[in-house]
Amino acid sequence: MRVIIADNYEAMSKKAAEIVAKTVMEKPDCVLGLATGSTPIGLYKELIRMHKQQGLDFSKVRTFNLDEYYGLPPEHPQSYYYFMYENLFKHINIPLQNVNVPSGLVKDVKAYCLHYEEMIKQAGGIDIQVLGIGGDGHIGFNEPGSSLGSRTRLKTLTEQTVKDNSRFFERIEDVPRFAITMGVGTIMEARKCLLLANGTKKANVVAQAIEGPVTAQVTASVLQLHPDCVAIVDQEAAAELKRKEYYTYVERMSQQFDKV
């Protein structure tokens, strides 16, 4: 895993945007895997800036989001569709028919999840998957204990995730208890993964994911097995990494190569 330690949230977001933009420029009809939550907001802001100021073109890009709360309609202010629309899609030139966020309203969940997987396959697979990490080590909503080979399905959220995400809702009782999420196996099929983390609260789980054993108890740790995963973390989130100096040294040394 390539580990980039950025000075702060802004630098983390800029570096992530540089990597995503490179994919979009090299392959204008690329497939982006996207995440919601607080972490990627800076990345999306930077992509919007690049679109507005530098003409970064999303007209042929297709996107698949990792997850959606089960039970929330797309127009619900806390739904992930709404989040994506407000924080990215409405500000760039992506046709809305090119964007895919799992539906939180489907009745036949199993059939729908198979369909979501099929749509990703039909699109040619995900070129780059943006990921945040939950306080319990989840990627997508793959909570501890999720099979490392899991596919898109309905998951029950842990108490910790419900608590972590209650900051977006008026009352904790309003936080949905279920979500449809891409599986760990689905995520691992992306050609490239981009894991982002910032803030002191993530320091311990980031160290577990990057340097701990690969375990279904911290689903982000499976990214150690991914052939092309870049983790970009800010100084605070990097605080508990044992090999921090080495990662910084590697990045400095690699500047002599053409590496974004």
Q: Which of 143, 164, 189, 234 is labelled catalytic?
A: 143
- Determine the Cα–Cα distance for residues 207 and 209; give it in Å rounded to an integer: 5
Is 189 marked active-site? no
C-beta closer to ligand F6R: residue 5 or 195: 195
Smallest separation, CB 141 to ligand F6R (Å)? 6
Site for ligand F6R in 50-89 (CB under 6 A): 66-67
Distance of CA 225 to the CA centre of its chain: 17
> What is the side-by-side strand order in the sheet with 62-65?
2-6, 229-234, 192-197, 128-131, 31-34, 62-65, 99-100
68, 117, 136, 234: which one is catalytic? Answer: 136
Q: Does 35 bind ligand F6R (CB under 6 A)?
A: yes
Q: Quick check: is 138 catalytic?
A: yes
Quick check: 42 binds ligand F6R (CB under 6 A)? Answer: no
Q: Which is nearer to ligand F6R, 38 or 217 (CB)?
A: 38
Q: How far apart are CA 136 and CA 139, in angstroms?
A: 9
37 interacts with ligand F6R by CB under 6 A: yes
Query: Which stretch of DSSP H or E encloses residue 127?
Result: none
Q: Which one from 46, 67, 68, 189 is the annotated catalytic residue?
A: 67
**Residues in binding contact with ligand F6R, number by CB under 6 A:** 14
Closest separation between CB of residue 134 and ligand F6R, Å?
Answer: 4
Contact partners, residue 65, CB within 8 Å, separation at least 6: 33, 34, 35, 36, 80, 81, 84, 99, 100, 101, 102
Q: Could you give the string, one character per residue 141-160, with x where binding to ligand F6R holds by CB under 6 A and - elsewhere? A: x-------------------
Tell the residue number behind the tokens 């690329």, with chain if given.
30
Q: Is 176 in the site for ligand F6R (CB under 6 A)?
A: no
Separation of alpha carbons 108 and 131, rounded Å: 27
Residue 67 is among the residues annotated as catalytic for this protein:
yes
Annotate each residue in 98-137 with x if it binds ligand F6R (CB under 6 A) or - if it does not, as one string. Answer: ----------------------------------xxx---
Is residue 3 within 8 Å of 224, Cβ to Cβ? no
Which residues, at least 6 apart from 89, have a Cβ–Cβ distance to it below 8 Å?
Answer: 96, 99
Identity of the amino acid at 161: T
Q: Are 202 and 196 in contact (CB under 8 A)?
A: no
Q: By CB under 6 A, is residue 33 in contact with ligand F6R?
A: no
Q: Annotated catalytic, 143?
A: yes
Point out which residues bind ligand F6R (CB under 6 A).
Answer: 35-39, 66-67, 132-134, 138-141
